[in-house]
Amino acid sequence: MLSNVQLAELVKKGKDSKERKFTESVEAMLTFRDVDPKKTDLNINELVYLPHPGSHRASVCFVGSGDLLLRAKNAKVDGAIEPAKLESYAGNKKEAKGLAREYDFFLADTALMPRIGRVLGQYLGPRGKIPTPVPPNAQIEAMINRMRGAVRVRSRGSLGVCARVGDRKLPDAEIADNIVAMIQAVQKKLPNGDKNIKTVAVKTTMGKPVKSKVEEG
C-alpha cells in the first residue's frame, strides 16, 4: 500500500490544477482488482470519520424525543424529527424523498428504529442512510460532532469507490491521513484486504484525476 508520504505527493499533484473562484473539494478514488462484484458480495457502505475534516461539515438529523431530543438540539443538530412528525411521512412519497436527500446522516432513538424502517426505510435504505441507533445513555453530542466530520463510502456493486477527503486549503499531509482512513475502512470489506486495491487517484472538483498504481505485495 502507498505510504503517507507517497499519498501526500499524490495529493500535491492532484491539487496542481487551475484554481477556481470557490474552494474546491479534494476527492479520492480507489479501484479494485481480483474482485468480481457479480460473484462476491461486494457491498461497501462504510462511514469514514476523517481525522482532518477541514471545511467539510456533514448535515445530521436526529429522530427521537425526550432528553435525547433536547440534548441533540442543544448540540445544534441540523434537523430534528419527533415521533408525531415521523408519522406524517407515511404515504407522503415526495416529502419522504426530500428528507432522505436533505441530510447526509441520520441518528435515531433505538426504540424508534422499527417505526423508522416502516415509514422511511424504502427511501433511506437505497441511499445508505439508515439511521445509526442511539441508546438512551449515549453521548449524543459527541456522536453528532463526530458525524459532522464523516463521509460515507459506497461501492454500489462497482469495482471502485470515491469520497470527498478534504479541500484545497487543507495541507497535503492531512488529506493523506484522510485517504488512509478511507483505505482502512474499505480494505476491511475486501476479500484480500489492501491486496485488492489496484489504484489510488486524487482530483479536485474541477480537476483531472492523478492516479498511482498500488504495487502487489
pLDDT tens for 125-147 read 999 899 999 999 999 999 999 99
Q: Is the pLDDT of residue 1 over 90?
A: no
pLDDT tens across 145-182, in order?
999 999 999 887 778 999 999 999 999 999 999 999 99
Q: Spell out the residues 6+ positions from residue 44 whose beta carbon is closer than 8 angstroms to its own.
A: 153, 154, 155, 161, 186, 189
Q: Rounded to whole angstroms, how far apart are CA atoms 52 and 149?
A: 8
Residue 25 to residues 7, 119, 134, 135, 166, Cα–Cα distance (Å): 17, 34, 31, 34, 6
Are the C-beta atoms of residues 191 and 185 closer than 8 Å to each other? Answer: no
> What does the pLDDT read at residue 119?
96
Please state the pTM of the whole predicted model. 0.86
Are the C-beta atoms of residues 211 and 32 closer than 8 Å to each other? Answer: no
Q: Rounded to whole angstroms, how far apart are CA atoms 133 and 138?
A: 10
pLDDT (mean) for 18-32: 88
Are the C-beta atoms of residues 66 and 189 closer than 8 Å to each other? Answer: no
Query: For strand 132-134 and strand 197-204, is the pairing parallel, antiparallel, or unpaired?
Result: unpaired
